[in-house]
Amino acid sequence: MRAPIGVFDSGLGGLTVLRALHERLPHEDLLYFGDTARVPYGTKGEKTVRAFARQDAGLLVARGVKMVVVACNTASAFALDHLCDVLPVPVLGVIEPGVRAALAATRGGTIGVIGTSGTIRSGRYQQGLAAAGLGPERIVAAECPLFVPLVEEGLGGHAMTRLAVAEYLRPVRDAHVDTLILGCTHYPLLSADIEAFLGSDVRLVDSAEALATAACGALAAAGALNDGDEPGRLSFILSDIPWKFAEIGARFLGKPIEGVESVGLDEMEAAGHALGGQA
């Protein structure tokens, strides 16, 4: 019960998941790993992402976590099944909770999903929606690769962001979606820009919030919730310390970040090998 929950992402976007988890589970210790030396994952191939995700998760397991939360949509798309096979602790990815939340939010119209190129081209969100009975005419997907750098530069509300939103989301708006899955943990920081373009009637599904809800339910079902009264600790590990990390990280987390540890790629590779099996 007292072991931390491990969260990993390809960079800093997963801090939105960490924030949601901390708000939902304030007594849980949370250990975050961001693979900032190899970000982004969204432009890489499946084999590479799966190998990286294995190392990321292995590092968290080596630190004694009781659950691994995959806060990266691309890693969830390409590596979740593999992680479920090799990890000795429960694993949650962001896609299934996002699909469930979208299905609960829709009013019977078209559901849209936006994400990085890797996430959208994997088809995992589309497959999840189709498995629930949605026909192809009720599913629309769009790659939005420029959203990540716009968020990290703090350009929410900027004219460049409004132009990018219009360019990427015009087909989504033309499809008359009533629900949109924000299929990247960066994207909730652009919610105001997205809503302004699509209209307030479109329900936005925050993948971070959906994943935090799923993690809370899974821990409760397993009897693994921390029963202590002390506030949970937030700990951070990065594979590289970006020069704007403090500024960007605080924007995602909603408060300053302190006590960041860095690890080398050799330690990460060793953690991946320690899991056994084939990568």
Point out the residues that are catalytic.
72, 184
Geometric angle at alpha carbon 185, from 94 and 199, rounded to 5°: 105
Tokens representing 249 are 């990280």
Helix (H, G, I), strand (E, B) or coil at 228: coil
Order of strands, sheet of 177-182, starting from the edge strand that comes earlier in the sequence: 139-143, 110-115, 177-182, 203-206
Residue 265 CA to residue 51 CA, distance in Å, equals 12
Is there a contact between 225 and 201 (Cβ–Cβ < 8 Å)?
no
DSSP string for 24-57: H-TTS-EEEEE-TTS---TTS-HHHHHHHHHHHH
Is there a contact between 41 and 74 (Cβ–Cβ < 8 Å)?
yes
E strand intervals along the chain: 5-9, 30-34, 67-70, 91-92, 110-115, 139-143, 177-182, 203-206, 234-238, 260-262
Contacts of 199 (CB under 8 A, 6+ apart): 173
Cα dihedral sign, 96-101-103-109: negative
